[in-house]
A = this chain, B = another copy of it.
Amino acid sequence: MSAKKASSGDRELSVRATDKKKFGSNGSPRVAKSLQQDASLNGEKKIVRRKSGAQRRGQILETARDLIFTEGFSNFTIRIVAGRVGISEAAIYRHFTSKEELMLALLEALFAPWREAISKLVAEKLPFAKKLEELFHLHLHHLLNERLNPVLFFSEAINPQNQRLLADMRKNLSYLAQAVASIVKTGQKMKQVRADVQPEALEAAVLGLLQTTVIRWTLQRSADGLLEDGASNIAELARIVSYSEAEL
């Protein structure tokens, strides 16, 4: 068919890439349209703009991240990722051995800095209420900035085929749970949380508030009022379990 010649026209062309930002930056990864047309006019054989493994790998992860964030896992296919990156499907397999490996690599790239940030916060010396507030902000800002929606990953992980993804998500969830538990226990030890409050119930309530906020974010697909309301609820919970002014 005559359409065949034009079918791969949106691929990138010649010239060594040195301007690609690394994964995590916010810049647009689009190639200037003019470049392609210039090369087409040459009449020369199409030459691919090769990239080093690390660059391309980062670009694939970045593309997959944005795709999943904006369109969910149902549109996360090798075909679509390859199309957005501007390479063939087969080329994806030069950088990841399977779709599953790509998914797990992405998850790790997104969650590793999140865990590190939480670790640092837990170790800090702050009053109980302030620490909860910081945890909330850290959590939400990280998710928003990294375009990481745990609900999307969690939903995908429930699929029985994704055993490893589920294991990873469990790990991250229990990481958060332990951080909250640690904060609560420290709060009680420091006499900032009422001694008669059952720590398990308080932990569950804090986790519940965090989860509810993220679920709301997922449902409304907008961060409007999210940070304010969530922070306000967390602060109110902290106030309720603290010693009242009369008792101090």
The residue of chain B having its C-beta at the shortest distance from the C-beta of A170 within the complex is B219
| Residues of chain B with a CB closer than 8 A to A198's CB | 232-233, 236
Q: On chain A, which size bracket covers the interface?
A: 35 or more
Which of B155, B156, B161, B170 sits near A154, CB closer than 8 Å? B155
Output the nearest chain B residue to A215 by Cβ-Cβ distance: B211
Asked if A35 CB lies within 8 Å of chain B CBs, one says: no
Instruction: Fill in one digit per residue for A198-220: 1 if any B CB lies within 8 Å of its CB, else 0.
Output: 10110011011111100100110
Instruction: Report, nearest first, the 6 A-B pairs whose CB atoms are least far apart.
Output: A208-B208, A155-B155, A201-B236, A201-B233, A74-B159, A208-B212
Residues of A with Cβ closer than 8 Å to B? 71-75, 151-152, 154-156, 158-161, 170, 173, 197-198, 200-201, 204-205, 207-212, 215, 218-219, 229, 232-233, 236-237, 240-241
